[in-house]
Amino acid sequence: MAEDMKDEKIQNSVENYLDGVEAPALDLSAAKAEMRRRRRRGRIGIAAAAAACFLLVFSVVWRILPAAGPAKYSAEHTERTAIGYTELTEKLPALRARLARLSLSRNASANYTLCSEEGEDVLLLAEVGYSADGEVLRGQIAIELTARRAEEYGAYADLPKRGDVYRKTTYEGGEYLTQAMFPCGEYLVYCDLMASSAYGCERIFAMFS
């Protein structure tokens, strides 16, 4: 009975103290310490829960967001349309002067294919040939028309780089094979060319300079 009265007295003192009614008539230091401990534990629990939520959201967003860098597409799965020089330069006037050097030169030739995806022109392919002064050259030029990048040409970024040009030339079967990638105004150009000399491709590069 005495113990129950003591507990009730302590409880009333604590409640009056918390309500601001009166100062406690007994030593509540242990009770205060316990209250502080519980508040600290509560704050730690809230912080831990917030950190866990942040990590969960971050991991989900990390998986959803695309990898850094230009958006990719597959050139293989684009819709392809053969197109003549005149129509092509009407669609892409910024390339008119450079394409003219291929299409209107007596020594060069080009056949064009426009690649589109979902109604957007994304890539221009040109089968090119050149013959003059004993120099023979043939191959393909591809021009990116948007900020997206064809997956098939991703390895060109690993070619040796000098200035703005990525380029590598090897000798195969009596001909020089040159792979290159370089900017051309707002566009990006890839080259796969075979020539009878190590520097035969310079003529093509000059047409896009």
Reported pTM: 0.67
Strand 149-150 vs strand 72-73: parallel, antiparallel, or unpaired?
parallel
pLDDT in tens, the chain (209 residues): 554 554 555 555 545 555 555 555 555 565 556 566 666 666 665 655 555 555 554 454 445 444 557 899 999 999 999 999 999 999 999 999 989 988 888 888 999 999 999 999 999 999 999 888 888 999 999 999 999 999 999 999 999 999 999 999 999 999 999 999 999 989 999 999 999 988 888 888 888 87
pLDDT in tens, 48-77: 555 555 555 445 444 544 455 789 999 999
